[in-house]
Amino acid sequence: MKKRKEKEFKIRTYLTGIIWLALACSMIISALLFAFLKHFLEMPENIPAIVWLLIFNTMIAGLITALLNRKVLEPITKLSEAMKDVSQGDFDKQLETSSRIAEVAQSYNSFNVMTKELRATHILQMDFVSNVSHEFKTPINAIEGYTMLLQGEDLSNEQNEYVEKILFNTQRLSCLVGNILLLSKLENQNIPMKKTKYRLDEQIRQAFLSLEDKWTEKGIGFQVEMEEVRYVGNEGLFMHIWMNLLDNAIKFSPENGTITMFLRHENDSVQFILEDEGPGIADDAKARIFDKFYQVDGSHKAEGNGLGLALVKRIVDIAGGTIKAENREYGGCRFVVQLPIKNYNE
């Protein structure tokens, strides 16, 4: 506590000294400037000398204060920007500690220690999640396999219902574990970004057809306008984008609703737009919709695990693209994915 007070006192003393220095310098320069102008130029005699001194002093003091503020506030601005980067998950951020001001150097050093500890904690956390998820996969696959074998047995209707529930929830758990593993690898950059050239529009159609059972069950219709797009990227990873977005649109679409898809070239990028006629996104959910384990309906009873959109966002970020979610003017939700065309020509 005592050290903190001493540090605050030093900073206040330093700032006070700067203010007085600025005032003293401005007064001296103003006096010299006034004497110079009076000697070489004819100054209006109806304006008192004190008024000229006040005008010069105000202008010069403002200029000196602006220059000193820039110099003094620069370390604070740099620290603020670095903290913003850390808040967005960049734990590799480090600051130079060679400042002449001891307090600034100490603050920078404390910041560097903090980011190192956060990085170590983050790595430990992701390794733990990855290892636990990996250990879960084997028993989950075994349960799923044995449950599928039971479906072929001569079971009563009630027993068949139980088997179907076990299979459904096991597959849901398997999907959750798979998404956690994939997201963990993406965040740790442990996935080789192997790129191949393929038809992006054909890939989206494959995702659309693979979900046919879900959208036909709800009687959902589709309006599709997709240009032929040849793209270079990680084909396996990109399939997660379209599968998750389409699955999400089907999940929230009403019975006999319509889903609209667009794919087109736009300047130096490829743009994919997906629209549904669902309830849209609540204002308090817009900022969190791409967070891990966040579900818009607020219930974990519904199908899904809250990782789909987080996974989509991470893959799009790695590709150097952007994704945004917004409400349509006439109801429903719209997802817009923008991917850089530079990958297309590589």
pLDDT digits (tens, 9 = 90+) for 226-276: 998 888 888 888 888 998 899 989 998 999 999 999 999 877 889 999 999
Burial class (CB within 10 angstroms; exposed 0-12, middle 13-18, buried 19+) of 178: middle
Crossing angle of helices 2-40 and 102-150, rounded to 10°: 120
19-41, pLDDT tens digit by residue? 666 667 766 766 666 666 666 66
Looking at residues 77-102, what average pLDDT do you find?
73
Tens-digit pLDDT profile for residues 108-133? 788 788 888 877 777 776 676 667 66
CB atoms within 10 A of CB 32: 11
User: For all residues of the chain together, what is the average pLDDT?
Assistant: 76
Calculate what percentage of the chain has a pLDDT beyond 90. 12
Give the pLDDT confidence score for residue 342 in this predicted structure: 63
Type and span of the H or E element at 59: helix 49-87
What is the structure's pLDDT at 129? 65
Structural domain 196-343, CATH architecture: 2-Layer Sandwich (3.30)
More confident call, 342 vs 205: 205
Strand partners, 198: 231
Q: Is it the case that residue 169 has pLDDT exceeding 80?
A: no
pLDDT digits (tens, 9 = 90+) for 288-310: 888 877 776 654 445 555 778 88
CA torsion angle 163 168 170 176 (round to 10): 180
For 321, the token pair is 């693209």
